[in-house]
Amino acid sequence: MRRARKILLGLAGLAAAVVVALVAILLSVDFSRYKSIATAEVEAATGRRFEIAGNIELALSLTPRLVAHDVTLANAEWGTRPDMLRVKQVEAEVALMPLFSGEIKVKRLVLDGVDLLLETAPSGDGNWIFGETKATEPAETAGLPRLPEINDVTISNAMLRYRDGSTGEEQTLAIAGLRGLAADLDDPVKIAIDASVNESPIVLNGTLGSLSTLFADRPFAIDGVLKMVGGSATVKGNVTKPLTGQGLALDVAIEGNSLAELAPILGSGLPDTAPYRLTGTVTDPDGAYQLDPFQLTVGSSALSGMASIGFGPERPKITASVTASAIDLKDFDLDGASDTDVSTPDDGRVFPADALPLAGLGIVDAAIELSAERLTKGPVTFEKLRTTLSLDAGKLVVANLESGIGGGSFMMSGIVDSTTAPAEVAAEIQARQVEVGELLRSLEISDVLGGGRGDLDLSATGRGNSVREVMAGLDGSTNFAMKGGHIDNGFARLMLSDLFSLVSLGSGGSNTEINCFVARFDIKTGQAVAKGLVLDTSGATVFGSGGVDLATEGLALRIDPHAKATNLTNLAIPMQIGGTIASPSVIPDPTAVPGKVVGAASDTAIGVFNILGDASGLGTIGDGGNANPCATALDSATGGTAPPSAGGELLEDVGGAVEDTVKGVGDAINKLFP
């Protein structure tokens, strides 16, 4: 027993001696000497001042910890603060055995209180672009071990900020917790992040390639799932050259309840869409980021194709070729159903004087091709729509927009050039044999007409930085004609006043049936002059003359009715329409004599009901022995040659002289702009 006891005491003494020796060794190591290694390595890599303000301390325990305080890395000279990076405390749990050979192997690295600022100068240079680095290590680091191997990294209470030096806008990433874990440099890195982007929570879990492949700039794997408010995103693939971020081949899938929920993460407003799902492959050919192919569903809308964005020296450029089986603009919050008025002037005017957001046209260039089997906007459906759009240095061109609509055809092209002062706006529209109510709704104009088929030719150019300026100097012409259909009684009562009972003879309900309507307006420097306007109903044929001053919105119109029955001639009282578009006035013409009957005289008066496309009312071609009054009026206005239209009918449009009708024109112009 004594011998056993002596052996145990001896072993205990030996263990104590080993512990004492180990403690002595650890205490004899001046870990602060490693400050020079870290300083030299970082300054050589960045060309900037790197500092560990306090000593590197050793905290003895079963797992020794090295602790450093107040670590900083200098910012660029032009930066908004002295330090790009600040870390309150760095803790490193080290393995014991490697210490005997003079090596530090970090089992776990903990960073607390990280504050990283990434920012750009007004020139666009980033503070993460470092200057020239040192070619050699300082002499005092010779013979010391290299920086330690790290297997486990934990970050807490971190704030990463990105500041745009040209706009002053700032985005933030607040990391409550981050952990990266790898057995060694050759093993994949498992990563988990609990954070918030611009105060919107996100959770990321995934696996990355090994650190050895990263440092060797070899293909680096990425496989992760991001959870965010109302949605998620997955990314899987690799980056061929991870140190430069080149050679992307990543399969992505993003889905959520609404794009609006991504606005805090992306730092910009997004529409309140229907639930969405986007899948595709991200590559970076020729330095651009490309999504090809992609599939996007938003509610009932389904699109596919390719899209890319490249970052040129002046501005980004978006290129896309998109096909769609169906697009419903309400899925993208673009049908206007929930919009308030684009502008609501409080000065008694209809056309708003608010400055158009022309600067937005110069932010990005674009070349987009769109083909949609069906595009729905509110009650209007465009069939087999095809168009191309280009945006180059602030000049927007919509070319060759073609579509079927309302049983007919629709074509449009337009230009908005913000590079001129003031901006130039131009539009060409042609419609053939379209149901008139559908046509007016497609142009976002009040549907005071409907039922019949119409042709429209509109050509207009103007200059200005607001809708009011554009309308004041507008040049062009508009021709519209309609056969059959009806006119809204509320509109007819307002515009025809005492003539309503004559014009609406034989009609009932909320609409008045019409036979035909033919109209033409020539517009020069904001003056719209009627060059042929006739409304024909069962009770009368009404001719119009005069014009509209688009600059002042003043009306100067005359309505000359012709009763179709002798016993109704006393009702055929010529009327004058004055006032403004927002507040028209209709009074009898004191100089006129009532009693005219259709055919009694060659009264093909030339007139006006409205401006630029909100139609007042046209009539159908009569089958009796008399010449059709609508065709006769137009023939007179055009010198006997009227432009041809599909099906042999001639039509032309003007607009309405009431606020809810003409205001649609101003709103439509406003919506040309982003």
Return the number of other C-beta atoms located less than 10 Å from residue 3's C-beta. Answer: 7
Q: Which three-class secondary structure state does DSSP give residue 565?
A: coil
Q: pLDDT category, 135, cuts 50, 70, 90?
A: very low
**Is residue 462 over pLDDT 80?**
yes
Look at residue 413 in the predicted model and tell me its pLDDT.
95
**CA 469 to CA 46: how far, in whole Å?**
55
Pairwise pLDDT comparison (211 vs 420), residue with the higher score? 420
Please answer whether residues 67 and 59 qualify as being in contact, where contact means their C-beta atoms are separated by less than 8 angstroms.
Answer: yes
Tell me how far the alpha carbon of residue 649 is from its chain's centroid. 40
Q: pLDDT category, 151, cuts 50, 70, 90?
A: confident
Pairwise pLDDT comparison (423 vs 439), residue with the higher score? 423
Q: What is the mean pLDDT of residues 276-300?
A: 94
Q: Which three-class secondary structure state does DSSP give residue 417?
A: strand
Look at residue 629 in the predicted model and tell me its pLDDT.
56
Q: What is the mean pLDDT of residues 354-377?
A: 92
**Is residue 323 over pLDDT 90?**
yes
Please answer whether residues 641 and 557 qualify as being in contact, where contact means their C-beta atoms are separated by less than 8 angstroms.
Answer: no
**CA 307 to CA 280: how far, in whole Å?**
10
Q: pLDDT category, 495, cuts 50, 70, 90?
A: low
Q: pLDDT category, 166, cuts 50, 70, 90?
A: confident
Token reading at 494:
């307002």
Look at residue 61 in the predicted model and tell me its pLDDT.
56
Look at residue 281 in the predicted model and tell me its pLDDT.
97
- Summarize pLDDT for 70-108 with one digit per residue, the tens: 888 899 999 999 999 999 988 888 776 665 555 667 788
Q: pLDDT category, 247, cuts 50, 70, 90?
A: very high
Look at residue 201 in the predicted model and tell me its pLDDT.
93
Residues 6+ apart with CB under 8 A from 61: none
DSSP 8-state assignment for residue 259: G
**Is residue 165 over pLDDT 60?**
yes
Look at residue 623 in the predicted model and tell me its pLDDT.
36
Q: pLDDT category, 33, cuts 50, 70, 90?
A: low
Q: Is the pTM above the cut of 0.85? A: no
**Is residue 569 over pLDDT 70?**
yes
Q: What is the mean pLDDT of the chain?
A: 77
Look at residue 528 in the predicted model and tell me its pLDDT.
94
Token reading at 643:
């432009």
Q: What is the CA radius of gyration of the chain?
A: 38
DSSP 8-state assignment for residue 197: E
**Is residue 378 over pLDDT 50?**
yes
Q: pLDDT category, 567, cuts 50, 70, 90?
A: confident
Least confident range from 246-250, 382-386, 578-582: namely 578-582
**CA 621 to CA 627: how far, in whole Å?**
9
Instruction: Tell me which residue of 503, 496, 568 sits closest to 539, measured CA to CA.
Output: 503
Please answer whether residues 210 and 182 qualify as being in contact, where contact means their C-beta atoms are separated by less than 8 angstroms.
Answer: yes
DSSP 8-state assignment for residue 120: B
**Is residue 514 over pLDDT 90?**
no
* Share above pLDDT 90 across residues of the chain, in percent, rounded to a whole number: 36
